[in-house]
Amino acid sequence: MFHSADLPHRRSTVLAAILTAGLAIAPAVCQTAPPASAGTAPDLRVFDPSLVDRTVDPCENFYRYSCNGWFKRNPLPADQASYGRFTELFELNRLHLKQILEGAAQPSTARSANEQKIGDEYASCMDTDAVNKQGLTSLQPELERIAAIKSAAELPALIAHLHTIGVNAFFGMGSSQDFADSSQVISYYDAGGLGLPERDYYTRTDAKSVEQRQQYVTHVKNIFVLAHETEAQASKDADTVLALETRLAKASLTITEQRDPQNLNHPTDVASFGKELKHFSIPEYVAAVHGPSAGKMNEAQPKFFAEFDTLVADTPIEAVKVYLRWQLLHAYAGTSLPESFDHESWNFYSHILNGAEKQQERWKRCTSRVDRELGEALGQVYVAKYFPPSEKQRTLDMTLAIEQTMDKDIDSLDWMSADTKVKAKEKLHAVMNKIGYPDKWRDYSTVKIVRGDALGNQMRVHAFDEARDLAKIGKPVDKGEWQMTPPTVNAYYDPQMNNVNFPAGYLQPPFFSGKEDDAANYGDMGSTIGHELTHGFDDEGRQFDKDGNLANWWSKDDEAKFTEKSDCMVKQYDAIEAVPGVHLNGKLTLGENLADLGGLWLAWLAWLDKAQAAHVDMTAKMDGYTPEQRFWIAYAQQWCTQTRPEQLRTQAQSDPHAPDEYRTNTVLQDLPEFGKSFNCKKPSPMVIANPCRVW
Ligand SMILES: [Zn+2]
């Protein structure tokens, strides 16, 4: 995860809450091939009794009980920073995508326009000889463009151009829904410009963090050397980069602060913003980037832009050029540049920061690249092959059942007033369910993909994305748009859209199967559906109303009670020491923890209703387990994951999701119903005296 060369430098959906971390952020790091012989898919089951370790007491450690068999069968592969059931499916999907791409890459067949694009992009990425031979030649005009500038006055046009080709230069600009009126799309200016995963990497003072910063400087130096600088010059330039980025980092909000939308809500208009910055011409910037020169905008982080303005004024232009050269090389140091760059980038972001021991094979990274760049062209073929309409209908039915359960659950809350309940239910009823893939596919007809030009293709795809994004500003929002591609193994809730999104790539075994019963499917995919719905009512999502506007619909009293109840969970997760010396951040992870607990509770209630209606015999065992026990085991087995300590540290410090062990055990500790299903004695490690509960 956090291979930031793969990240867009801005987010058009600012606050979307995703289900898991690494995979969605950058599928470039955490995977291996499934143990499939040619043509046969591995047997992935939602509830798999063969994975249970009956030598472990379920009341002692339910995660180990449910997953030990999986751990034994799946040693952590060398090219992975972590490997779990999400990666297992991710790898299987990637194998399917590879077959599609290899077919599309055959130039002799009669290809559709989309097949030409995905096939030629894949072939270009796979052509390592051509990429190596090309060297830095294709990037040379861009390096020269940076070298040519003489003063800060030329920066607006240069930075605009770099943004167009996907370089994370200083800040991000794009489109976003208006916090006050979610039906409208406005300009959005946000902090950016960092090479480390997030701002606290620049400010932490513990020994490990200090060491990581030194390793980062070495990495930047190595990239400069590869770009033909002398050792001495590269060393000096790397220090310049760290100093400059540290200034940007210190002026940026922490990731915890960014979870509160109020901290990001600073509406203004482009003309006023232009006057605010004294040393960087916004009119020149927007003219060059082809963005709107007027109209409403959000300046997400004013403190950052004040510092950026000062930095432009007081930093020698040669230092700024060093920084921009680094960001340019960094943005392309993946599959578009020679293997020496590719390997150096992997070494820092995947090996040093996350502990992976071996770089992934090229085909895996090229497949992920096409998914990232042309995801709806590739996804269209994927869906036709792997996601039949019947599966879509089953998921929709389950979603509707869980929404009905939430309606009843809101009625039953003893801490919320009747008035606020009415508003909460209005919001729930307005949630839009998006399942599988978009109704209207993205049109890539204007993207030119040239076989044999990996770097040029990357630039053109970025330019296409940028233009597509900026074209949305000033227009009504398109609620049908997706932030994830169809083959993605993940899901999300978007508070400004008030919708839940479940890509087809995720609605597959081992998370959902038409062949397994409700106990398994509700424990697993049902809990995820509940998770995404609960995000609409977590510490962040609850601040948005049914239309997705940032508008408070809570009474003061109810708000105080919500905060008091969720503080129980903040303390509970703060107390967890994930790696020696590093505790989880209860505030950063609160939204996800609320969603995990609320989601599982909703799935449980919905399943009980369904089982009762179907007269399921709750004492009848299957594979040695009661239906209730299979529900909980299916829940736990989705989180079976092996993680390297380096990645665990990164995750504990920076990820809004708790590590998978706690997404299992801590969540179940808060649900006494779990302990009853396994006849646990009180107290036991899995049955605690004062469980937390909000939703
Ligand atoms: Zn989530």
User: Hey, what long-range contacts does 214-223 have (CB within 8 A, 24 or more apart)?
Assistant: 215/348, 215/352, 216/242, 216/348, 217/241, 217/242, 219/344, 219/345, 219/347, 219/348, 219/352, 220/195, 220/326, 222/344, 223/326, 223/329, 223/330, 223/333, 223/341, 223/344, 223/345
449 CA to centre of ligand 1 in angstroms: 35
The answer to whether the beta carbons of residues 491 and 502 sit under 8 Å apart is: yes
51 CA to centre of ligand 1 in angstroms: 26
427 CA to centre of ligand 1 in angstroms: 18
Tokens of 123: 């072939």
How many CB atoms are closer than 10 A to CB 190?
Answer: 23
The span from the CA of 617 to the CA of 607, in Å, is 13
208: helix, strand or coil: helix
535 CA to centre of ligand 1 in angstroms: 7
529 CA to centre of ligand 1 in angstroms: 10
Nearest to 357 by CA among 21, 650, 26, 647: 647
Tokens of 259: 């979870």
21 CA to centre of ligand 1 in angstroms: 9
- pLDDT at 357 (0 to 100): 95
Amino acid sitting at position 507: L
76 CA to centre of ligand 1 in angstroms: 25
484 CA to centre of ligand 1 in angstroms: 14
CB environment 52-61: b (16+ within 10 A), e (fewer): bbeebebbeb
17 CA to centre of ligand 1 in angstroms: 5
| Angle between helical axes of 62-73 and 660-669 (0-180°, round to 10) | 150
Amino acid sitting at position 553: W
How many CB atoms are closer than 10 A to CB 408?
Answer: 12
**3-state SS string over 98-117?**
HHHHHHHCCCCCCCCHHHHH
Dihedral pair phi/psi, residue 440, rounded to 5°: -120, 120
Tokens of 78: 């060398």
The span from the CA of 670 to the CA of 134, in Å, is 57
- pLDDT at 21 (0 to 100): 63
- pLDDT at 108 (0 to 100): 76
Nearest to 454 by CA among 349, 555, 556, 341: 341
Burial-class residue 397 by CB neighbours within 10 Å (0-12, 13-18, 19+): exposed
> Torsion angle, CA of 312/315/321/322, rounded to 10 degrees?
-130
The span from the CA of 52 to the CA of 54, in Å, is 6
The span from the CA of 500 to the CA of 432, in Å, is 6
The span from the CA of 331 to the CA of 337, in Å, is 10
- pLDDT at 524 (0 to 100): 97
- pLDDT at 473 (0 to 100): 98
The span from the CA of 619 to the CA of 465, in Å, is 55
524 CA to centre of ligand 1 in angstroms: 14
Q: Which helix (H) or strand (E) holds 161?
A: helix 155-164
187: helix, strand or coil: strand
357 CA to centre of ligand 1 in angstroms: 29
531 CA to centre of ligand 1 in angstroms: 6
51: helix, strand or coil: helix
- pLDDT at 625 (0 to 100): 98
226 CA to centre of ligand 1 in angstroms: 40
492 CA to centre of ligand 1 in angstroms: 6
DSSP assignment, residue 148? T
128 CA to centre of ligand 1 in angstroms: 37
493 CA to centre of ligand 1 in angstroms: 7
The span from the CA of 64 to the CA of 686, in Å, is 12
Tokens of 647: 């990645």
What are the start-end ranges of the E strands in 454-560?
Answer: 492-494, 499-503
The span from the CA of 260 to the CA of 255, in Å, is 9
235 CA to centre of ligand 1 in angstroms: 41
469 CA to centre of ligand 1 in angstroms: 25
274 CA to centre of ligand 1 in angstroms: 36
19 CA to centre of ligand 1 in angstroms: 4
Nearest to 637 by CA among 662, 658, 664: 664
Contact partners, residue 626, CB within 8 Å, separation at least 6? 618, 619, 620, 677
The answer to whether the beta carbons of residues 602 and 47 sit under 8 Å apart is: no
Tokens of 114: 């989309």
595 CA to centre of ligand 1 in angstroms: 6
591 CA to centre of ligand 1 in angstroms: 7
In the chain (695 residues long), the average pLDDT of successive 10-residue segments reads 31 66 36 39 89 98 98 95 96 97 90 96 98 96 98 98 98 97 98 97 96 98 98 98 98 96 97 97 98 97 98 98 98 97 97 95 98 98 94 94 97 96 98 97 97 97 97 96 97 97 96 94 97 96 97 97 97 97 96 98 98 97 97 98 95 95 98 97 93 95
The answer to whether the beta carbons of residues 158 and 281 sit under 8 Å apart is: no
Nearest to 593 by CA among 511, 534, 523: 534
How many CB atoms are closer than 10 A to CB 314?
Answer: 10
The answer to whether the beta carbons of residues 493 and 509 sit under 8 Å apart is: no
